[in-house]
Structures are given as structure tokens and as C-alpha cells.
Amino acid sequence: MVLMEEYMVNSCKPLESDLEDKSDKYKETEAAASRAHESDLDSFFKGATNDDSNMEEWLDQGLMQYGCSHYRRRCRIRAPCCNEIFDCRHCHNEAKNNINVEGKLRHDLPRHQVQLVICSLCGTEQEVGQICTKCGVCMGKYFCGTCKLYDDDISKNQYHCKGCGICRIGGRENFFHCYKCCCYSVQLKNSHPCVEGAMHHDCPVCFEYLFDSRNDVSFLPCGHTIHVKCLKEMQQHLHYTCPLCSKSVCDMSKVWEKLDMEIATTPMPESYQDKKVWILCNDCGATSQVQFHVVAQKCLNCKSYNTRQTRGCQPSDD
């Protein structure tokens, strides 16, 4: 499963209003352009009432030509918290949580609080809506009135999940919402490990809040969640257990076979050959008393070497 907003994060400065600090010459040029655009709009609607192809062409003006590093869209937003204009709420959050901003002034913009947007083509400020009230262009091919989300890149297969209360990507038909944990692939509908609030915590590696993270999220066999990129980095450093519960994150049977061979070819010194220890298995949770070995101790229940010693060496009862 992936979250709706998954694109790269770049530092972004707030945009100044198009209506502030303009020279008279620039204002005249802008006004002339606006009148010309309105004239084109009037002519279009007079001659294209029954022409769907012309209507679509008009709505798609500027498609994929505007936006920021987070979204391609044809509008900007006015943040109600600080009354400044930004390309999107992520641009706002990056600017307002920058290290150079005084601590008490840092804040986020909740997606649902956006009320006003500014058309990127004609500069008209208006209430949230998909079609510009002045020039008639579509400000986002994907539009969610609940999340106030606009995006011209619909290849992500965006959809609004009512259970989560936010937009996600990947196609509605490919996911289902578990009201105990989160959204899962339909392939896991009857078999997923149900962990309450699985997405409502930070990634155990990078500590980013997972619920509304823009990066891909992986569900581990134990039910815990982690960023896909963080999981890959763990595996590159030969860490194959969940950071939260220590259960194995993949099939380790081949590794256990190699450990069997290594232990068989590594005899312990005579003074340790009758020593036993108590171990706890991280995979199945069983406790058992096993022969101590400097390489690893094997769980007697599930045959896993993902174990930890709970009590020290003691003489064998044999």
C-alpha cells in the first residue's frame, strides 16, 4: 500500500501574491491579457456548446505545466493559518517548519482547512472547486473536495478512502480498508495480520509519521509497518528482523540451514560441551533449554535461530 502523497520533498519558499507590489505597467499588461483571455472564453462557449472535444481541450489548458515538486496542478492555495500563498500544503509545511523559522511560529497546515485557491492561469482567487470560476480551466484532473487536493498526474490512480479520511494512490479496486488497522491490498483481505492502529505511528527507522507519509509503506509479516526504503536499507546492512518486535521479516530457512552447517563444523571447547542455556524465540515466542553454542542457539519449537538468551550457562542435566 502506498499513500496518496508520495513524491520527493524539496524545500520550497512561500509564493507572494500576484496582486501585491506590481508596477503600473505590469498591471496594465496583466489586465490586457485577462481581457483577451475572457474574450477567448466567451468565443469558445458560444461556438463549442455541443463540441465535447473543444470543451476538453479548453479544460486541459496548461495541463502538467504548473505545480511544484509535490504535485502537477494548475492552482495554488492560500493558507488560512498565515494567509500566505503556496503551491501546496507540503510547500507550506516545509517553509513553516524550516530550521530558520522561530520555534513557536512553526506549524502545519491541515489539508481540510484550505478554503481558497488561486488559478495559476488567470490568477483569480476563489473558493475550492475543480473548475476556475473565471477562465474555466480545470485546475486539477484529480480533485478531492474533502482533502482539498488537486493533481494533474492521474497515473497514480488516486482515490479517497473514507475509512482513512485522506486520499491514497494505487486504485480503489486494489485496496480494502480494515477499520482496526489500515488499508491493505485486496490479496490480503482474509489473511493480513491485524494490528490495531498499525499506520498511526512513526516509522521505526526514520521516525516519519506513517499515516500520511508520501513514501511507500511496507506491512511486515508481524503486522507492523515501515517505509519500503527503510526496510531495504536494513536488509542492505544485514538486518532481517522487525525493529519493533524482532520477528523475522522474510523467509530465513536457507540462513538457518547454513547456521546448522556452521555449528556442526564448529565444535565447542570441552569445558562448554555440557553447558545449557535458556532461550526465548523471537519468531514463535517459545522458551526452551538448549545446548550453548558460541555461534547461535536454535529454537526447539520452530527451528529458528532468531533467539535471545534469557538465562546464563549452567551444567547439563545429562
Tens digits of residue pLDDT in 92-122: 999 999 899 998 999 999 989 999 999 999 9
The pLDDT of residue 237 is 93
Are 276 and 256 a contacting pair, CB within 8 Å?
no
Of 176, 147, 126, 142, which is closest to residue 72 (Cα–Cα)?
142
Most confident range (mean pLDDT) of 9-13, 45-49, 256-260 is 256-260
| Sequence-distant (≥ 6) Cβ neighbours of residue 267 within 8 angstroms | 273
Which residues belong to CATH 2.20.28.10 in the chain? 268-309
First to last CA, the chain: 52
The region that residue 31 occupies, defined by phi over 0 for left and psi between -120 and 50 for alpha, beta otherwise, is alpha
Look at residue 258 in the predicted model and tell me its pLDDT.
94
Quote the pLDDT of residue 11: 32
pLDDT average, residue stretch 259-283: 91
pTM of this structure: 0.65
Which of the following CATH numbers is that of domain 268-309: 2.40.50.140, 2.20.28.10, 2.40.420.20, 3.40.50.2300? 2.20.28.10
pLDDT value of residue 53: 74
Q: What is the mean pLDDT of residues 37-48?
A: 48
